[in-house]
Structure 1
Amino acid sequence: MTAPHSIQPEYDLVFAGGGSAGCITAGRLAAAFPNLSILVLESGPATKNNKEHMQPGHLIAHVLPNAKTMQHVISQPSEHVAGRRVDVSTGHCVGGGSSVNWLYYNRPSASDLDDWVNEYGNDGWSSKELIPLLIKVLSPLRVLSPKLILLKAETYEAAPNKPTHGYDGPLKISFGGHKLLEVSKQFLDVGVQMEKSRLVSDEINDFTANSLNRFANVPKWISSNGRRSDTAHHYVYNKNLSNLSVMDGCLVNRVVVENGVAIGVEYVFDKRIYESSPQDVRLVKARKLVVVAAGAMNSPLILERSGIGRKEILERAGIPVVAEVPGVGHDYQDHTVCLMPYIVDPSYETMNKLWRKDPATWETAMEQWDKDGSGLFGTSGLEVAVKLRPTADELADLGPDFLPVWNESFRDRPDKPIIWLSMIVGLPADQSALPPLDFIVPFNSLNYPRSRGHLHIASADPYAEPDFQSGFLSHPADVAAHRWAYKKGHEITRRMPSFRGALGPAHPTYSEGSAAAAQMAAQAPTPIDAPKLTYTAADDEAIDAWLRNTIWSTLHSLGTCAMKPFDKGGVVDPKLNVYGVKNLKVADVSIPPSNVHSNTYSLAVLIGEKAAVIIAKELGGSI
């Protein structure tokens, strides 16, 4: 058997993982320090110039069960999700989630980032220090030294001259290469008519409370010529960085630590990518630094296989303790999502025919994209949204389970929404068992779940299934928020002119005689001025049961290597150093100490850029 790559025995910097944040940090450092050799080991496949990654509309390829670009991590059964095992996927390719995600451009509020400083003592991570990593801020230091001006991440093509957006970065943001679909316009129009206090806006990403309770056509991490803005192509590929080596199909087993210092990593060629590759464990050394950047679902497992973690977990797996850091793998969190499929009139354009691979639709869409990036392949099918924060009149609708959480975490923080309500203009799944209908899928995503889980190794085998508990819906406030948002979404969708009924098995089952049950059978739109449904206590129980049977992950996993004080369960300090080990950092979405209401790609961009600044300074330079 021949090894798929020739890897040198030693590099200056070694990255264990080449996902969204890792590509940014490695690419920035390689460009800033051309004399340093940098190695990135990514367990998934390469993505360079692959249309399945470059075309936004092709993202359906990555949700199929046999996709090698996604890693599926299956949770333990839980009573909170009706005894189910929940599948939480994560990007498994160069570029990680940025190469396979749904491309929504959704940034956090300023207070989300400030919480990391105010509540957890992470100096240097406030909104005033992080937001400039996304946008160009002129500084008097520029006159003295241009190198002191940070390179920014964003080029905002959606609109000119927005003060909180960047216009000179590698990642482009636009409305994509396809026009806003009619069904999306209907969601906006009906939403505004139903929600009198919530207006339409062209800006729901300015980091402030002004972005809340506004319906919007949402920009995406897509260029105006229909290309995905992933970190692999925009920070690593095509950059002519001769000192940067990115090796796909390399599964990191552990970080090698000698006398408290990380000296390198052990890896194997991933047999899921290179099926006939040799499986002997190999060592590559790092002269200066090891950076673990394998994401929230893999970084804690690498640390634990390295002997860094909670003592009893390491001993159970037969791994000697190198550094006892009990917070590793603790406090897993995600943005749980409630999907609500509906049938729409087939005369309206949606993504369904493309995702069913209808030959004529596929051919036309491919020709359009090849020509100029337009057409269905130039969009992701996620177009409209509203960040919902309850008004004073609506608080009672959320019920008593949510009120304590509101008082503690939301009441005095006006820039925090509780729910992200949006819509997919198609059914992103295998439709072979369904009649050839056209679907839309409104969904609500919980921004700050109180539920927590964990992620730990179950053995020393890097291929072994981990001990994963999602924790989904283990806190009653999370159930209450999803229930409230489901009702909101249903009231809007059933009034859309394109509405032709709910996909019954995918919605709550109400008792006979219930007004909600009667409406669920409707196959025509409800008049705008019809009264809203009144739900009984039994109806609410039916919704809650349905939630526990169907709740899913947005694939926004984070927090498993939290950046906070050691005695509060922290794994890394504000400089991203792993407690108890020198020359070892973690730099990915496993480090946020608390959740934010953005998608994790926005976080990965911030973390990747910030990590590059931190490491560059320690190397004696700047970016």
Structure 2
Amino acid sequence: MSTPTQINEEYDIVIAGGGVAGCVVAGRLAAADPDLRILILEAGPPTYNDPAHVQPARYPSHLAPGSRTVRVHTSRPSAALGGRSAAVPCGQCLGGGGSVNFMMYTRASASDYDDWETVHENPGWGSKDLIPLLRMTETYQVPGGGPTHGTDGPLKVSLGGISHDFQEPFVQVARTLDPARAGKPYYIDTNDLLTINVYTRWPRWINEETGTRSDVPHNLIYPLKETRPNLHYVTGIHVKHVTFDDENRATGVAFTFNPLFHPDGPAETRTVRGTKLVVISAGSFGSPGILERSGIGAKGVLEGVGVKQRVDLPGVGENYQDHNMLFIPYLAADEAQTFDAIFHNDEGAIDAAITEFSKTGMDPLSHNAVEAGIKWRPDPSELAKLGPEFQEVWDSYFVNSPDKPVLWIGIFSVLVGDATLVPRRKYFTMGVYTEYPVARGHVHITHGEDVSASLDFVPGYLESMADVKVLTWGYKFSREIARRMPHFRGEPAALHPAFDPGSKAAAVQHAEGPVAFDTPRIEYSDEDDRALEAYARATVSTTWHALGTCAMKPRERGGVVDSRLNVYGVQGLKVADLSIGPGNVSANTYSTALVIGEKAAVIIAEELGIKWRYGN
């Protein structure tokens, strides 16, 4: 890690935030022009060769109490969540979310990016423009990759080092239970930006050759340490605000040292100049905060925290979006292969895994426990069961975009849930998340100077009954798959809805083994549905897929940046991270963060006159 004294007075480009997109921008530009002086300022710690970041199965450690690699944002209490607050952990380390996430490889639908170009009026951001950049990012190690996948990019995509015995059974059970979606090969690529409604094994951002996580710093930043001395990254830094000259041109940033990582560092605010460009890349929570502390945002928000308004831009911090997730655990057979011991940081299990790797070359730590899944879109009979609340959404948003799924449904070979409520044993978890939730939220600062102050955060989760109906259907359907799995041994009642003990929906919780495939599906009464809705409101959680709070769209429609990523009303200032996403994507957002970084690098290189071959 660079020390505080190694921050020069000025650079050509200053990047505020060292997450996925910021590191892509820095790495690509530094590789293209060795003379370009680039500085990344990151609030969290470095990640170089740290097992918690490099070894895939250790990722739950980042969500443990006391973790210093994520920052947790807590929302206002919400009536839609039964009066509770939502908590959203965000990556706070070099590499951001891509260095702490689940490593689940999922790409958006082509129409998502096409919407960015047409609906939200951003030329150059359609799927035809972004697919070459998606290919540029990756080396696709999964057999059968099609023309949308890359073959020589820095980040590797594979089926992981090992697979547990939930992967094939899930696909086989689901295909038997749902024959209408079974008429395709056992494995088919559902991340070609088009294919949906296929049960399949799920790829991961894991290098199959080394068994390590594929993140940006280890592939685009750290390898340049010797060859690109003009690329500096400094960790443990809080960016307070952007500095400007009298003509409203960004000149640099003001920053302080994060006392969590620099307890003896200077307390005063310092500045660093960016002579060519300042790029904000602090994520959907951090980027709007930097803009607001710089005087860019809604007048009411800025006046409330004592910040003088520089630019009236009311879209800053608005349009918050996330996927809404239910993690639904089930008891697993004693003989099942699960990751429970490793994921709950059992040192004995971790030591045994390391020993096994040294003896056999098979690494149990090179896995993320995401086994298989489907991007699900309803047929007419299923659509009817989602009710009139969702029908309106279907008619206005989905019907003319046949590549858009409604839900992701999948299986994890581990307990994902509150382990304090259930005994230690083996579990598996069904996961369902809404691909395009209706509700929107916001993120705003509550203090004009204190970067560490809590935010005014409203997530919007389940404020629309359409979102509730989709999730509760997902619970019912995934439950039918779960109870037919060979290793199913019942349900932990504490982590399921509080059904009336006499109802048919409650009887399953007492099962001790799987049911036959031809067993009738569970019937839910109106009272059961109310219990299920209450369960969804009490347990729905983030998918760590926040975007939209500095949306790329016309200013008059609430936009914050234009299609060249320029912040409206000022010069020399861009935003490049997931916050610029104007509409949601049907995927885990890592691949979208990567392509935003790639596109930003192309844009900046063009503007600086840097020439290099881009795309494959």
TM-score (norm 1): 0.95
Shift of 1:428: 4.3
Residues 145 and 189 in structure 2, CA contact (< 8 A), matched pair in contact too: no
Residues 425 and 440 in structure 1, CA contact (< 8 A), matched pair in contact too: yes
Aligned positions of 1:437-456 closer than 5 A: 437-456=425-444
Residues in 1 aligned to 2:359 and 2:42: alpha-carbon distance in whole angstroms: 32
Q: Which residue matches 1:162?
A: 146
Residues in 2 aligned to 1:81 and 1:20: alpha-carbon distance in whole angstroms: 30
Residues in 1 aligned to 2:314 and 2:347: alpha-carbon distance in whole angstroms: 53
Q: Which residue matches 1:147?
A: none
Residues 295 and 309 in structure 2, CA contact (< 8 A), matched pair in contact too: yes
Q: Which residue matches 1:388?
A: 376
Residues 134 and 591 in structure 2, CA contact (< 8 A), matched pair in contact too: no
Residues in 1 aligned to 2:158 and 2:33: alpha-carbon distance in whole angstroms: 32
Residues in 2 aligned to 1:591 and 1:370: alpha-carbon distance in whole angstroms: 44
Q: Which residue matches 1:144?
A: none
Shift of 1:373: 6.7
Please say if 1:486 is aligned against 2:469: no
Please say if 1:573 is aligned against 2:559: no
Please say if 1:120 is aligned against 2:90: no
Q: Decide whether aligned partners of structure 1 residues 428 and 580 sit closer, same or farther in structure 2, where only a CA change above 3 A counts.
A: same
Residues 257 and 322 in structure 1, CA contact (< 8 A), matched pair in contact too: no
Residue type of the partner of 2:371? Answer: E
Q: Deviations over 1:308-364 (max 9, x none)?
A: 100110111000111111100001010010110111011011001212334442112
Q: Which residue matches 2:190?
A: 204
Q: Deviations over 1:517-569 (max 9, x none)?
A: 12222222121110011111211111111100111000100000000000000
Question: Match for 1:253 among 211, 228, 240?
Answer: 240
Q: Which residue matches 1:106?
A: 106
Q: Decide whether aligned partners of structure 1 residues 600 and 373 sit closer, same or farther in structure 2, where only a CA change above 3 A counts.
A: farther
Q: Secondary structure of the residue that 1:340 maps to in structure 2?
A: strand
Root mean square deviation, CA, Å: 1.5
Residues 587 and 608 in structure 1, CA contact (< 8 A), matched pair in contact too: yes
Aligned positions of 1:308-387 closer than 5 A: 308-369=296-357, 374-387=362-375
Q: Which residue matches 1:148?
A: none
Question: Match for 1:277 among 254, 265, 277?
Answer: 265
Q: Secondary structure of the residue that 2:276 maps to in structure 1?
A: strand
Which 5+ residue runs of structure 2 have no aligned equivalent?
A: none
Residue type of the partner of 1:14? Answer: V
Please say if 1:522 is aligned against 2:505: no
Q: Deviations over 1:490-522 (max 9, x none)?
A: 000011111111111111111242110122222
Residues in 1 aligned to 2:347 and 2:27: alpha-carbon distance in whole angstroms: 39
Question: Match for 1:191 among 157, 162, 174?
Answer: 174
Residues in 1 aligned to 2:316 and 2:397: alpha-carbon distance in whole angstroms: 25
Which 5+ residue runs of structure 1 have no aligned equivalent?
A: 136-151
Residues 227 and 373 in structure 1, CA contact (< 8 A), matched pair in contact too: no
Question: Match for 1:605 among 589, 594, 599?
Answer: 594
Q: Which residue matches 1:88?
A: 88
Q: Which residue matches 1:622?
A: 611
Q: Which moved more, 1:421-430 or 1:482-491?
A: 421-430
Residues in 2 aligned to 1:161 and 1:330: alpha-carbon distance in whole angstroms: 38
Residue type of the partner of 1:18? Answer: G
Shift of 1:3: 6.7
Residues in 2 aligned to 1:66 and 1:429: alpha-carbon distance in whole angstroms: 18
Please say if 1:45 is aligned against 2:45: yes
Q: Secondary structure of the residue that 1:283 maps to in structure 2?
A: strand
Residues 605 and 611 in structure 2, CA contact (< 8 A), matched pair in contact too: yes
Q: Decide whether aligned partners of structure 1 residues 428 and 530 sit closer, same or farther in structure 2, where only a CA change above 3 A counts.
A: closer
Residues in 1 aligned to 2:359 and 2:501: alpha-carbon distance in whole angstroms: 54
Residue type of the partner of 1:233? Answer: H
Q: Secondary structure of the residue that 2:462 maps to in structure 1?
A: coil
Count how many residue pairs are aligned between Structure 1 and Structure 2: 603
Percent of matched pairs sharing the same residue = 44
Residues in 1 aligned to 2:190 and 2:145: alpha-carbon distance in whole angstroms: 15
Q: Which moved more, 1:498-507 or 1:154-163?
A: 154-163
Shift of 1:477: 0.6
Q: Decide whether aligned partners of structure 1 residues 182 and 396 sit closer, same or farther in structure 2, where only a CA change above 3 A counts.
A: same
Residues 226 and 373 in structure 1, CA contact (< 8 A), matched pair in contact too: no
Shift of 1:185: 2.0
Question: Match for 1:233 among 218, 233, 253?
Answer: 218
